[in-house]
Amino acid sequence: MWRFTKGSMALLACLMVPAGAMAAGLALPASGIKAPYSPLAIPTRMTPLEDSLETLLDRQYRVVAAHQAGGEEVLVLFRGDMPDRAGSTVLCALTMPNPARDQNVVTSRCWALNHPDR
């Protein structure tokens, strides 16, 4: 049976504080109109692409970041041999099959994020 003294509980609490502080340091700053250091929300143009994620990967785009959001896998792709051309950075949403919503195949939607020509 475990027995903790007051001293060991205080030591445990002190050890837990840095972990919480480190996790808080990784969060984005507060946003919204009343947040003191919030940047302005700036419109960002996302040009829809007619290519699938599969086609982009076949064209030598590489996945540089991925995150699950809203039941989809969100991927950021980059093609390093054309960094100064429009469409070298792409955002894709990959939707997995979901029979409950009549989604029987994997689908993707992709948008070009950069437009250096403008």
Q: In what order do the strands lie in the sheet with 72-78?
A: 47-48, 107-112, 89-95, 72-78, 62-69
> Which amino acid type is present at position 45?
R
- Ordered per-residue pLDDT tens for the chain, 118 residues: 445 444 444 444 444 444 444 444 556 666 666 777 777 778 888 999 999 999 999 999 999 999 998 889 999 999 988 777 777 899 999 999 988 888 899 999 999 998 765 5
CA distance linking residue 109 with residue 118, whole number of Å:
24
**pTM of the predicted structure, to 2 decimals:** 0.64
Q: What is the pLDDT of residue 83?
A: 73
